[in-house]
Chains A and B, each alone.
Chain A
Amino acid sequence: MPGAFPTFVAMATATRTPPSPGGQTTPRTSPRATPPPRPRRGGLLRTLWGSTLGKKAVMAVSGLVMLAYLVAHMLGNLKVFFGPADMNGYAHWLRTIGEPVLHHEWFLWGVRVVLLAAVVLHGVCAWQLSRRDLAARPVAYRHRRHRASYATRTMRWGGIILALFLVWHLLDLTTGTVNPRGQAEHPYENIVTGFGTWYTNVIYCVAMLAVGLHVQHGFWSAAQTLGVTRPGLARLCKGGATVLAVVLTAGFLSVPLGVMTGLVE
């Protein structure tokens, strides 16, 4: 830094003279007292990815993307109560959205790509942040005490359960690999056959309860991570989290319960 020394001398002298009115901003501290300017790394994305707050924001946004999809998915599922023609017709329509601008199934594949990105980002951030969190509290208290809510405490295990369920769910009703019937273009029949087996019901019901718990804490957390501070809006988000969780769980559970009770056959 050529010419740095005279500047520092001028700055040091300036501490003893009052700033001239209307003059330029006068450096007021001696160079020794001022810590060196911190190196600024990269842009927005690198800043976010490099910090715990930024990764939480990534988790919040990817979580909200998945949540929006879940709401649409749950509402679409309710078509099952209107019979095979409605359900299968709806499933077929999903593949034709955007035609003729988009090719057959392109919209669906677009959604799948976005969801895959959201799942991967959410999972990677959760993994990295959890490892950090566990390392930050290496010694547990001898006097144990559980204060946080059940939903808060089960976020990590709940997330793992949901990831495993996702694999099962895709193999069951998307590819039909583990579905007893697994016939493409016939989702209604696959659903009825699938929920005719006890293990599918157990897996599905456990996962849907996990979704409810995850959404209840997750939605409220996302709001705070993204900086919702206005008291009215914050209350709305907190209440909304519970409503969303209950509605989603009830809506999703209505399908296997409908099959089990014979309402859907």
Chain B
Amino acid sequence: MNLTLRIWRQPGAEAPGKMVTYKVEDISPDMSFLEMLDTLNETLTERGEEPVAFDHDCREGICGACGMVIDGRAHGPERTTTCQLHMRHFADGDTVDIEPWRAAAFPVVRDLVVDRSAFDRVVGAGGYITAPTGSAPEAHATAVPKPAADAAFAHAECIGCGACVAACPNGSAMLFTSAKVNHLNVLPQGAPERESRVLDMVEQMDVEGFGGCTLAGECATACPKGIPMPSIAAMNREYLRAAAKR
């Protein structure tokens, strides 16, 4: 396969950026999107040009490091992470636009790399439980109802890749924050900080400059882990409950 790529190149956080066109030839349909970019970078390095910077780590869809907007869609045309997107989903001769996540809270560091530490600060504000460290607690000490365990697990699938923010027309982190809040708030272990968790995490989310939710649903469509829209309504409920109780 041969592709024409239009990639956002930006040498640094303060430097102006622009879309630059590259031709990539002899792409195997079995390559992942990142392997295709590796091929491009090898060519660029051989030519003495700067390779395209992009985030990646596990390359098996579980770490949340990779992420770019491909043809206007976070993580591209398939509902998966960029590393698990394969080139067979593109046709020979396609022109593909590749841009970084766009959000005020995710400033571009370089090319396709953005700074997502805003997510870390949202989690730091309340995405934890109070538990004694050291030896593992007795497994049956706290009974967890099966539905609660299932709900917590579904929300815990969030890998914090930022696709929800990138896809949202308001650059909102509601889906991410709701996944983290609900994950712990449905569990008995999360109960002691149930109110402060949602209040503090939402406050931090606002401080970081994320936009608000207009229920456009783009986030849940883009989420590679399938965190559903009702997660946001559940966090709204937790928030109003906590605000009334304080």
User: Residues of A at under 8 Å CB distance from B?
Assistant: 15, 18-19, 28-29, 35, 38, 40, 43-44, 47-48, 51-57, 129, 132-145, 147-148, 152, 155, 217, 220-221, 223-229, 231, 234
A40 touches B246 (CB 8 A): yes
A53 touches B239 (CB 8 A): yes
- Within B187-246, the residues touching A (CB, 8 Å) are 196, 199-200, 202-203, 205-206, 209-218, 221, 229-230, 232-241, 243-244, 246
Q: A142-B19, A227-B233 are in contact. Are A137 and B103 (CB under 8 A)?
A: yes
User: Residues of B at under 8 Å CB distance from A?
Assistant: 6, 8, 19, 69, 71-73, 97, 99, 102-105, 124-125, 130-133, 168-172, 196, 199-200, 202-203, 205-206, 209-218, 221, 229-230, 232-241, 243-244, 246
**A53, A144, A217: the one within 8 Å of B236 (CB):** A53
**A38, A140, A227: the one within 8 Å of B102 (CB):** A140
**B131, B196, B203, B214: the one within 8 Å of A51 (CB):** B203
- The complex places the Cα of A114 from the Cα of B90 at a distance, in Å, of 56
- The complex places the Cα of A229 from the Cα of B151 at a distance, in Å, of 13
Question: Which of chain A's residues has its CB closest to B166's CB?
Answer: A141
A51 touches B233 (CB 8 A): no
A139 touches B102 (CB 8 A): yes
B214 touches A54 (CB 8 A): no
**A15, A133, A140, A142: the one within 8 Å of B212 (CB):** A133
**B72, B97, B196, B211: the one within 8 Å of A132 (CB):** B211
**B99, B232, B244: the one within 8 Å of A141 (CB):** B99
B240 touches A136 (CB 8 A): no
How close is B222's CB to chain A, nearest CB, in angstroms?
9
| Chain B CB within 10 Å, residue with most, of A145, A220, A229 | A229
Q: A137-B103, A141-B99, A234-B230 are in contact. Are A44 and B246 (CB under 8 A)?
A: yes
Question: Which of chain A's residues has its CB closest to B239's CB?
Answer: A53
Question: Which of chain B's residues has its CB closest to A231's CB?
Answer: B230
